[in-house]
Amino acid sequence: MAEIYNSLELEEDTQKDRYLTFVIGNECYGFEIKHVTEIIGIQAITEIPELPEYVKGIINLRGKIIPVMDVRLRFKQNPIEYNDRTCVIVVDVKEISIGFIVDRVAEVLSIPEADIVAPPQIHKGTGNKYIRKIGKVGNEVKLLLDCDMLLAEQEAVELSEVI
Amino acid sequence: MSDQYSNEPLMEMFLFETSQLLEQLEQNILSSEKESGFSEDSINEIFRIMHTIKGSSAMMLFDNIAKLAHSIEDLFFFIRKEKPEQIDLTVLSDLVLEGVDFIKTEVEKIKGSSPADGNAENLVVTIKNLLTELKRMNAAPAAAFTPIPSGDYAYKALIHFEEGCEMENIRAYTIIHNLKELSKEIYYIPEDIIDSDESINVIRKNGFQIYLKTDRDYRKMHEFFMQTIFLKDMELLQLEDTEFAQYNKPEITPEENLTKLSIGKEVSQVEKPVRTDQLEKEPTTTNTTQSIISVGVVKLDKLMDLVGEMVIAEAMVIQNPDLKGLQLSNFTKAANQLNKITSEIQDIVMSIRMVPLSATFIKMHRIVRDMCKKLDKDVHLEIIGEETEVDKNIIEHISDPLMHLVRNSVDHGIENTQERLEKGKSKSGTITLEAKNAGSDVLIIVRDDGKGLNKEKILKKARENNLLFKNEEDMTDKEIYNLILLPGFSTKEKVTEFSGRGVGMDVVTKNIEAVGGTLSVDSVAEKGTVITLKIPLTLAIIDGMNIKVGKSRYTIPTISIKESFRPKETEIIYDPDGNEMIMVRGECYAIRRLHELYKLKTNITKFSEGIIIMVEQDEKTVCVFADELLGQQQVVVKALPHYIQSFKRIRGLAGCTLLGDGSISLILDVARMFNR
């Protein structure tokens, strides 16, 4: 019994404090690994009219149709051409499957809780609210994203569109 | 019983069975009420149903249901036995229906995996009171038969076993063996059951007769006998002591002037789920259950999905880009064969999911009855074409709206009796519920002969709520009537229990639109109102025409395409606002450019280069301009991801589908293309 319990804990442990990091522009961001289901190369995207710019459309993931969001555009940065390093990170949040388009995927990192700090309390621009925590790895800084916020904020967008 | 029984399949069985029984019960009561009296058959059936529900719910540890069922069972046991003449029919049926409602809510709770914690104490008490009342009122005849509780009863039982169950004598012996614990004196024919093989034949031919004395009452004994394995038929009679003595050396069965209760096979039909399989073999009950199995909807959905995937996969193979331009006569032949088979499979799978509307329609009887009572109206519900079949998913979506419509008709449409008589109409109003097939759609029509819709009132209300979308003078009657379908519209000044909250029609419209259906209203003052629902037979697979605009691909349901053509630049008419129209055979149609509508980049903007597809829906026609037609294909409709849908409803998109090459095509919702 105790063994089973331990192994369960172990499995939890392998995902704990681990982050998939990716690059957009000059910055390095991270998702909690437990949300990530897979990483795929960029593929044909079917555009859907009348959606915000950052929602690029839908893709066919082995028969499952999922929406894709360009994180670069989400952060209101300038779009770049997709190339062979462009990746789609497929994430499951709150039973929604969604793909995030990023410039390139970096690596999976372990960032112990001790090295994670809250973001500074300066609210300028839009990007800040998506960043939940900041992780320190050596001299570098990884911006850890909040998947929920990336998705949830759309209600505000909708509202502003109505007005 | 113990916890180990409360596992999943058993629970599913319980829920399924109970809800079926409840429906049966409800129908039974309603029809009895209509005939203003319970026939012996229906009393027996109600008793049986309650008995079964009591048993199975006690088994599943739902004590509150069991208790309630038990009290109703007691009540009907009394009625069945004593046939009291002074029964207040309405009180009785109200009580039972209340009981049914209680159990229904409990079952719903269980389905939603929340604890069935309803309290039926009050109801049980009311039922018990009624029973005492009945007993008191019918005391005189009852005294003759109601045995004194502590006394010994004598019974005669005649048992027939299932044909081909073998070893009848051993089975008979088991009964006797078990009986010995309960009874004081037992005699049986044939007597030499164990010693002589001949007894088997006797039992097969004449049945197995038992005479016994016991202190158990009739019901307990009946229960005991009904538990016998391979039981086909059982007759249990209560005897007077004197008669019993006479049977000590039993001869032939005389005519009894006693409480004769012959319990046919059907009584035991659902008593214990384990026995049903044997019962179905019984030739006397000519039900067709034998050739029917019940399958979980989840499995069917899965099958449906798989067939959908198969259709796509087939298209992927046959329309594979690698094959382009090759001459493959054998391949084509084989492909055609495959195509034939897949479409046949598709049809079958579709037909499996088709369910007749009758269950949904019949539910309406109850609603009409309850409402008539509350509102003091006299309404007759007529049902036509209830055998029409619709996809299971769709039925689920239309049952609520239909209920709303029927309620509305009773509440708002039909006048009360006095008013009707003054207007020279028949005393009772009629609501007709009709279903029929029309191409790939099903029409469901709710018609009443009430007072009809009041145009003035509707217009006034619409004005107040700012719902008018064009000049009042320009509106046709039908357009005015259809105003009531808009959100936030309710002409009823008073909010009643049943309708008039102003959400009714709005919700109805939404629900119907959710399954791709449409709704229209027509009415004639003082003659009545007709509401027509048009719903598609099925949602999952449609015939579609794929078209191309720029890099994007779209699919239009073939059913709504009238024709396609390439117009000459000169045929286009421009109105002062720059809207484009085209004249085709004397009719003028508006043109919608898809690339403008969806802001797509395309090189083809001249009419002479692209193609116009004329689409029709609900008697409205529009011309859609696209780059080119790609070809016709069966497509599996998939919903857009929730995330996409959660942005405001995207105009004119019904869903998406996968094309043969794995790319995604968006399905145009033709009905929505008109309202821009």
| Mean pLDDT value across chain B | 75
Tell whether B471 lies on the interface with A, counting CB pairs under 8 A.
Answer: no
Tell me, what's the pLDDT at B543?
A: 80
Tell me, what's the pLDDT at B143?
A: 41
Phi, psi of A118 (to 5 degrees): -70, 150
Distance from C-alpha of A71 to C-alpha of A55, rounded to nearest angstrom: 9
Confidence tier at B539 by pLDDT (50, 70, 90): low
* Cβ contact, residue pair A52, B647, below 8 Å: yes
DSSP secondary structure, A42-102, as one string:
----B--TTS-TTEEEEEEETTEEEEEEEHHHHTTPPP----TT-EEEEEEETTEEEEEEE
**Closest chain A residue to B638 measured between Cα atoms?**
A65
Q: Which residues of A touch B649 (CB under 8 A)?
A: none
Q: Give the best-scoring range by mean pLDDT among A85-94, A120-129, B15-24.
A: A85-94
Q: What is the pLDDT of residues B271-297, one digit of tens each?
A: 334 333 443 343 444 444 457 777 887
Q: Average of pLDDT values for B243-247?
A: 58
Q: Which residues of B touch A58 (CB under 8 A)?
A: 640-641, 644, 656, 664
Confidence tier at B244 by pLDDT (50, 70, 90): low
Distance from C-alpha of B445 to C-alpha of B447, rounded to nearest angstrom: 6
Please state which of the ranges B168-182, B322-336, B413-427, B562-576 shows the lowest mean pLDDT: B168-182
Nearest-Cα distance to chain B for A46, in Å, is 6
**Closest chain A residue to B662 measured between Cα atoms?**
A60
Q: What is the pLDDT of residues B33-61, one digit of tens each?
A: 777 777 777 888 888 888 888 888 877 77
Which of A48, A97, A161 minimises the CB distance to B666? Answer: A48
Q: What is the pLDDT of residues B444-466, one digit of tens each?
A: 898 888 888 888 888 887 787 77
Specify if A83 maps to a domain.
yes
Percentage of chain A lying above the pLDDT 90 cut: 7
Tell me, what's the pLDDT at B337?
A: 93
Tell me, what's the pLDDT at B500?
A: 45
How far is CA B253 from each of CA B157, B158, B300, rounded to the nearest angstrom? 11, 10, 54
Tell me, what's the pLDDT at B481?
A: 82
Tell whether B525 lies on the interface with A, counting CB pairs under 8 A.
Answer: no
Tell whether A92 lies on the interface with B, counting CB pairs under 8 A.
Answer: no
Q: Which of A46, A150, A153 to mutate to test the interface with B (most CBs of B within 10 A)?
A: A46
Tell me, what's the pLDDT at A101?
A: 92
Q: Which residues of A touch B302 (CB under 8 A)?
A: none
Q: Average of pLDDT values for B542-547?
A: 86
**Closest chain A residue to B597 measured between Cα atoms?**
A49
* Cβ contact, residue pair B665, A46, below 8 Å: yes
Tell me, what's the pLDDT at B264?
A: 39
Q: Which residues of B649-671 are buried (b: 16+ CB within 10 A; e: fewer)?
A: ebebbbbbbbbbeeebbbbbbbb
Tell me, what's the pLDDT at A5?
A: 58
Q: Looking at B194-328, list the stretches that DSSP marks H as alpha helix, in order from N- to C-terminal side.
A: 198-206, 218-226, 241-246, 265-268, 276-280, 297-318
List the beta bridge partners of residue A144. A30, A133
Q: What is the pLDDT of residues B65-109, one digit of tens each?
A: 888 888 888 888 787 777 766 667 777 788 888 888 888 888 888
Architecture of domain B355-536: 2-Layer Sandwich (3.30)
Q: Average of pLDDT values for A21-41?
A: 88
- The residues spanned by each domain of chain B are 3-143, 153-284, 355-536, 541-673
Tell me, what's the pLDDT at A78?
A: 85
| Mean pLDDT value across chain A | 78
The answer to whether residues A63 and A83 touch, using CB atoms and an 8 Å cutoff, is: no
Q: What is the pLDDT of residues B567-617, one digit of tens each?
A: 888 888 888 888 888 888 888 888 888 888 888 888 888 888 889 999 887
Specify if A31 maps to a domain.
yes
Q: Cβ of B27: how many Cβ atoms within 10 Å?
A: 16
**Closest chain A residue to B652 measured between Cα atoms?**
A49
Distance from C-alpha of B608 to C-alpha of B1, rounded to nearest angstrom: 79
Confidence tier at B266 by pLDDT (50, 70, 90): very low
Residue B180 has pLDDT above 60, yes or no: yes
- Selected residue with higher pLDDT from B614 and B121: B614
Domain B541-673 top-level CATH class: mainly beta
Tell me, what's the pLDDT at B8?
A: 66
Nearest-Cα distance to chain A for B664, in Å, is 6
Specify if A12 maps to a domain.
no
DSSP secondary structure, B409-472, as one string:
IIIIISPPHHHHHHTT--SSEEEEEEEEEETTEEEEEEEE-SS---HHHHHHHHHHTT---S-G
Say which DSSP state B397 is in: H
* Cβ contact, residue pair A96, B643, below 8 Å: yes
Domain B3-143 top-level CATH class: mainly alpha
Tell me, what's the pLDDT at A77?
A: 82
Tell whether B249 lies on the interface with A, counting CB pairs under 8 A.
Answer: no
Tell me, what's the pLDDT at B323?
A: 84
How far is CA A70 from each of CA A55, A104, B231, B279, B489, rounded to the nearest angstrom? 6, 12, 70, 63, 42
Tell whether A163 lies on the interface with B, counting CB pairs under 8 A.
Answer: no
Question: Is the fold of B3-143 the same as that of B541-673?
Answer: no
Q: What is the pLDDT of residues B363-420, one digit of tens each?
A: 888 888 888 888 888 888 888 888 888 888 788 888 888 888 888 888 878 888 888 8
Please state which of the ranges B5-9, B266-270, B328-332 shows the lowest mean pLDDT: B266-270
3-state secondary structure of A138: coil
Distance from C-alpha of B179 to C-alpha of A47, rounded to nearest angstrom: 78
Confidence tier at B7 by pLDDT (50, 70, 90): low
Q: Cβ of B462: how many Cβ atoms within 10 Å?
A: 20
* Cβ contact, residue pair B646, A52, below 8 Å: no
Q: What CATH number is attached to the domain comprising A113?
A: 2.40.50.180
Q: What is the pLDDT of residues A54-96, one digit of tens each?
A: 888 899 887 678 899 998 888 888 888 888 889 999 998 877 8
Tell me, what's the pLDDT at B248?
A: 53
Instruction: Could you please state the CATH topology (level 3) that the domain comprising B153-284 is classified under.
Output: Alpha-Beta Plaits (3.30.70)
Q: Cβ of B259: how many Cβ atoms within 10 Å?
A: 15
Q: Which of A43, A48, A62, A163 to mutate to test the interface with B (most CBs of B within 10 A)?
A: A48
**Closest chain A residue to B661 measured between Cα atoms?**
A60
Tell whether B602 lies on the interface with A, counting CB pairs under 8 A.
Answer: no
Distance from C-alpha of B319 to C-alpha of B313, rounded to nearest angstrom: 10
ipTM of the complex model? 0.75
- Domain hosting A103: range is 17-162
Q: Which of B305, B637, B643 to mutate to test the interface with A (most CBs of A within 10 A)?
A: B643
Q: Which residues of A touch B641 (CB under 8 A)?
A: 58, 65-67, 96-98
Tell whether B310 lies on the interface with A, counting CB pairs under 8 A.
Answer: no
List the beta bridge partners of residue B471. none
Residue B146 has pLDDT above 70, yes or no: no
Q: Which residues of A touch B658 (CB under 8 A)?
A: 60, 63, 65
Distance from C-alpha of B518 to C-alpha of B513, rounded to nearest angstrom: 6
Tell whether B291 lies on the interface with A, counting CB pairs under 8 A.
Answer: no
Tell me, what's the pLDDT at B651?
A: 64
Tell whether A81 lies on the interface with B, counting CB pairs under 8 A.
Answer: no
Residue B498 has pLDDT above 70, yes or no: no
Q: Which of A43, A60, A153 to mutate to test the interface with B (most CBs of B within 10 A)?
A: A60
Specify if A114 maps to a domain.
yes
Tell me, what's the pLDDT at B334?
A: 92
The answer to whether residues B183 and B208 touch, using CB atoms and an 8 Å cutoff, is: no
Tell me, what's the pLDDT at B476?
A: 80
Number of structural domains found in chain A: 1
Tell me, what's the pLDDT at B512?
A: 81
Tell whether B312 lies on the interface with A, counting CB pairs under 8 A.
Answer: yes
Nearest-Cα distance to chain A for B441, in Å, is 28
